[in-house]
Amino acid sequence: MKFKDRFFVLMVLVGLFSLEGFAQTKPKVVLDADTANEVDDAYALSIILMNDSVDVVALNATQWQASQWTTENSMEDSHRLNQTLLGIMGLSTKTNRGGASRMYDWGDRAQHSAAAYEIIKQAKAQKNGEKINIVALGALTNVASAVFIEPSIVDNLRLYWLGSTYDFEKGVLRRDDFNCAMDPYALTHLLFSTVEMHIIPVSVASKMTFEYEETRAKLKNHFLGDFLLKVWDDHIDGGRTQRTIWDLTIVNAFLHPEWMKEVEITTSKDNGGRKVFYYKDFDADRMRADFFQKIKAYERP
């Protein structure tokens, strides 16, 4: 082989390896959401699903069966709404059903589901110390079940979650909000594991509010915006003039860490006695403006 030919082949190989490396630069993420429970899930999911800087490998449905206003099968309702949202957006992201209720009280406490096994599969696929990102918007049933089934994956997971309250002055963590109450054992199991956890407490996320009139004015006459308005209007309390769009905060904590103020805390012994990353504050105005701009600009691929 002539020198020029060898050089050409070498350059082609270098190029292929470079492209392969480039293709792997997008962080992979599994989304886990109780989408049919509240309005905010669909709003938050829209933003991360349309983001080209991340690779959403799956969208899992989680349950909210313990709620007083639950439906007959809350996980299935969330699963179907996930599929509806993807259809509206023109996306083909893989969807998985999660556990239909909270984790069991004894024995094999895991809820065995496609969602839990998806998390296990993605975690096991990580190489060289990499981690699969999990952005969880509701009960932690699927995530904790995955860890219960396959404990070896703990060091291959990075969890972003909305839940709990935290008093940063007194160092007190409380676990009596909605997402905690939907599966208390799931949270306990993860706190007593070594899974990397990034949490925005509801006491911080509560300032992410949307006014209905502003939301309607900025979203109407756009196919995705009109769908999101319908989600608001059709909810059991659709007459609200203001809503907290809780889940938008943790989605953007993953997408835009520069918008967040995060601190490392050590939980009390009865909460695992471990290091956890807590979001203390965030730029709500920037997050809100970004949401309206991104939704109105979205076009189906």
Q: pLDDT per residue over 179-214, tens digit each?
A: 999 999 999 999 999 999 999 999 999 999 999 999
With a cut of 60, say whether residue 56 has pLDDT above it: yes
The neighbour count for residue 85, using CB atoms within 10 Å, is 24
Pick the range with the lowest mean pLDDT from 67-71, 82-86, 179-183, 275-279: 67-71
The neighbour count for residue 245, using CB atoms within 10 Å, is 24
Give the pLDDT of residue 1: 54
Give the pLDDT of residue 43: 99
- Asked whether 117 and 150 are in contact (CB, 8 A), the reply is no
Q: Options 1.10.10.350, 3.40.50.300, 3.90.245.10, 2.60.120.10; which CATH number does 28-297 get?
A: 3.90.245.10
Give the pLDDT of residue 224: 99
Residue with tokens 């997971």: 157
Mean pLDDT score, 85-112:
98
With a cut of 90, say whether residue 15 has pLDDT above it: no
| Higher per-residue confidence, 37 vs 18 | 37
Q: Report the mean per-residue pLDDT for the chain.
A: 94
Q: What are phi and psi of 23, to 5 degrees?
A: -65, -25
In the structure, what pLDDT confidence band is assigned to residue 25 with cuts at 50, 70 and 90? confident
In the structure, what pLDDT confidence band is assigned to residue 2 with cuts at 50, 70 and 90? low
Domain boundaries, the chain: 28-297
- The rounded distance, in Å, linking the Cα atoms of 183 and 65 is 9
Q: pLDDT of 165-182, one tens digit each?
A: 999 999 999 999 999 999
Mean pLDDT score, 59-86:
97
With a cut of 60, say whether residue 243 has pLDDT above it: yes
With a cut of 50, say whether residue 18 has pLDDT above it: no
Give the pLDDT of residue 282: 99
- Asked whether 187 and 215 are in contact (CB, 8 A), the reply is no
Range 169-200 burial, b when 16+ CB lie within 10 A, else e: eeeebeeebbbbbbbbbbbbbbbebebbbbbb
Give the pLDDT of residue 24: 59
- The rounded distance, in Å, linking the Cα atoms of 282 and 200 is 10
24 CB-near residues (< 8 Å, 6+ apart): none
Give the pLDDT of residue 16: 44
Mean pLDDT score, 2-24:
48
Q: Tokens for 248? A: 């938008």
Pick the range with the lowest mean pLDDT from 48-52, 64-68, 143-147, 185-189: 64-68
- The rounded distance, in Å, linking the Cα atoms of 274 and 56 is 29
- Which helix (H) or strand (E) segment holds residue 214: the answer is helix 212-219
135 CB-near residues (< 8 Å, 6+ apart): 29, 30, 31, 32, 48, 160, 161, 250, 251, 254
Give the pLDDT of residue 7: 46
Share of the chain above pLDDT 70, in %: 92
Angle 126-51-218 from CA coordinates, rounded to 5°:
155
Q: pLDDT of 102-135, one tens digit each?
A: 999 999 999 999 999 999 999 999 999 999 999 9
With a cut of 80, say whether residue 17 has pLDDT above it: no
